[in-house]
Amino acid sequence: MTDWDMKMENIRNGNVTEENMAEENVSPGNRYLRQIPVIGEDGCRRLQKSTVFIAGAGGLGSPVALYLASAGVGAIRIADMDCVEESNLNRQILHHESRTGENKALSAKKTLEAANSRCRVEAFPEKITEESALRLIGDADLIIDCLDNFEARYVLNRAALRLEKPLLHAAVSGYSGQLTLIIPGKTPCLSCIFPKAETGHSSPALGAACGVVGSLQALEAVRVLTGRPTLEGKLLLYDGSSNTLNSFSVKKSARCPECGGR
């Protein structure tokens, strides 16, 4: 059993060693009443104690951040260097017409704090680079890839490998999208799966397709944080033109320049 599997089992069994876990107030009012039967009070406590790093406050980052803040994730670190443009508004539901010209990470912080005032949101209006990635990820338990280009994704992948933190990848194009969960040392890394992805062009994106794929990503994030991941070493493909979901096993590559298949 790998360290990751042991960690997930401990979370599932409630063998949580963090301080004061049992004393946290799970449910302020009725806020989490409807999700307690699904993930349990332990699961809610675990979300409250979690920090996620969301790379990108766009089409995927919008549903992911909104659902995680609403579900009671304790802290969200969100980074995006771009400003809100009118052409973003068909899909980027974190932002509004009145925010045009504002930085997306800062706009996201306003929306998320309005959605759940107990969620601590740190906004980083910065580009994710080799120099900034480790600092931006900070103390996050989970790195969530909501980016729109593989150049930055490969930076995030290298940071995840270096920090040995799980990386939840998703991408969307047109009607369709894909997801996978990367556990350094256990599963293939992003470069094993996509050794030479195209970079530098923006994909066509339908808002509802971003919503579906982002919701699948948020759901898997909740599952990871509560000890029940499903996409380790699996690539989930959503085809919105036929409304079908398929998943495939993915393999490590011994020739991978990033992880060397380890």
Residues lying near Zn ion in the complex (CB under 5 A) are found at 189, 191-192, 256, 258-259
How would you classify residue 71: left for phi > 0, otherwise alpha for psi between -120 and 50, otherwise beta? alpha
Least distance CB 161 / Zn ion (angstroms):
8
Element spanning 136, H or E = helix 133-137
- CA–CA separation, 47 and 218 (whole Å): 12
Q: Supply the minimum distance, in Å, between the C-beta of residue 232 and Zn ion.
A: 14
Residue placing its CB nearer to Zn ion in the complex, 135 or 262: 262
Is 93 or 256 the residue whose CB approaches Zn ion more closely? 256
Q: Which residue's CB is nearer to Zn ion, number 28 or number 257?
A: 257
Distance CA 177, CA 60 (A): 10
Query: Which residue's CB atom is positioned nearest to Zn ion?
Result: 256
Cβ proximity of 55 and 129 under 8 Å: no
Type and span of the H or E element at 223: helix 207-225
Identify which of residues 18 and 130 has a Cβ nearer to Zn ion in the complex. 130
**Of 65, 82, 162, 83, which is closest to residue 127 (Cα–Cα)?**
82
Decide whether 106 or 183 has the Cβ nearer to Zn ion. Answer: 183
Residue 176 CB, shortest distance to Zn ion, in Å, is 24
Q: Quote the least distance from Cβ 191 to Zn ion, whole Å.
A: 5
What is the smallest separation between the CB atom of 67 and Zn ion, expressed in angstroms? 29
